[in-house]
Structure 1
């Protein structure tokens, strides 16, 4: 019986090694801040070609105000509304409210630690104790934190 167990273990190890040799890492489509207050993700569910997809960043608790309109042409939002910053690959960022149900983003995302960077071919974001900064390939971007939003 011990022999069969060893044979099974060595066979399993062999197959795991084979799978590992050919496995490709998953391409992360977003991240969240260490506190979980900011979640950024690439809009992978739109029909837009990959290199034209926008980066979306949500902030759940913020001390700054936005215009009272929802920004999505829904003046009667009876669901949740959250502040969202949208950064296209080659255009300036914009901020607005988004009206949504319980979960509408690809969640959960992996949390980045302070001092970390996340990037795709069209975006680079850094996470620091003073917030999240993101830039597109045209050099436009934003600095998002609980105390303020700066469109750059």
Structure 2
């Protein structure tokens, strides 16, 4: 998956609501609040709405701080992109999301042991792409990856190791 530009709060909401289907996370180059505070590489963790009106957004800063701010307090968001977890520049959010996704992948394989269905394979491949070959290998899944592109995007995975 390539980095995809995000154009509106609705896009953030869609990605967060469907995170297991679309994977990845939304990261901005920066967010500036009306108070003048500016945060580099924030990764969005939540967005709240009431009766169709967006009220607040939650994000993790480069320092690992988690903030929830009222939409009215945001003066500018720059260069929002939907990225794979392994492509995030925010190291705290990347570590948190990689850990969470690896745990989910492990549990998914446990629950589906002995049942190699098409939806299961698609979900595992999506999760593996989101995590990236380098991080899979670092976490003991070296036999999981059959082929990866130079930038560590997964092309194919070993079906036997999915259920090992």
TM above 0.5, yes or no, is no
The normalised TM-score by structure 2 is 0.28
* Greater percentage in strand: 1
